[in-house]
């Protein structure tokens, strides 16, 4: 039960983090557009940044799942012994 709760909290936090990073990059692109800077070149760079952030957030997500799983297994072994 506790392991599932920690996993759910981890999923929610990583999704919030990913949403916030995407939102910040979107606001930067909107700012560039409002300043009449030629956006397509920048947009491709921001698109690459978004992809990199997506990969990093997935790696963080997997790392957090592994940490929660290992912690849950240790707790389970402690409760059994």
Q: What is the pLDDT of residues 37-78, one digit of tens each?
A: 555 555 666 677 777 777 777 777 777 777 776 666 666 566
In whole angstroms, give the CA distance from residue 48 to residue 33: 18
Residues ≥6 apart with Cβ < 8 Å to 69:
3, 7
pLDDT over 60 at 26, yes or no: yes
Are the C-beta atoms of residues 64 and 10 closer than 8 Å to each other?
A: yes
Q: What angle do CA 67, 19, 54 make, to 5 degrees?
A: 65
Domain span at residue 28?
2-80
First to last CA, the chain: 18
Per-residue pLDDT at 65: 72
The total number of structural domains in the chain stands at: 1
């Amino acid at each position: 039960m506790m392991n599932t709760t920690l996993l759910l909290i981890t999923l929610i936090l990583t999704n919030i983090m990913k949403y916030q990073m995407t939102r910040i990059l979107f606001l930067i692109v909107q700012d560039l557009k409002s300043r009449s800077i030629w956006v397509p070149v920048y947009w491709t760079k921001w698109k690459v940044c978004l992809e990199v952030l997506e990969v990093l957030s997935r790696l963080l997500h997997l790392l957090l799942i592994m940490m929660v799983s290992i912690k849950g297994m240790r707790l389970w072994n402690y409760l059994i012994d």
